Amino acid sequence: MFLFTQSVFVFLTIFTSGLQYLIQRINYKRDLERIERFVGEARAAAWGPKMIPIEGKRKVQGDCRSYIICGDLHRHTL
């Protein structure tokens, strides 16, 4: 009986560890896609549809905040 209980415990430990790894991997990929989307939206707002960096500063509105985006991509929240 002891060997059976030990085997079940080892199986459950390996199974839950594998499941946790799988879920973390899925979340990681989804988070990367989300970050890439945000960066793309920020660049489109800062540089315009031609995606050419502008010289100087430009004020961009979004999410109840205003941002000043400089040509060198430094951001400051107002």
Give pLDDT tens digits for 47-77. 777 877 767 666 666 666 655 555 555 444 4
Task: Report how far apart, in Å, the C-alpha atoms of 18 and of each of 10, 22, 23 are.
Answer: 12, 6, 9
In the chain, how many domains are there?
1
Report the C-alpha gap between 55 and 24 in whole angstroms.
41
pLDDT digits (tens, 9 = 90+) for 16-44: 999 999 999 999 999 999 999 998 888 88
Average pLDDT over residues 1-6: 84
Q: In this predicted model, which residue has the larger pLDDT, 30 or 2? A: 30
pTM of the model: 0.57
Residues 17-31: b if buried by 16+ CB within 10 A, e if exposed: eeeeeeeeeeeeeee
**What is the 8-class DSSP label of residue 50?**
T
Report the C-alpha gap between 48 and 29 in whole angstroms.
27
The boundaries of the domain holding residue 68 are 2-77
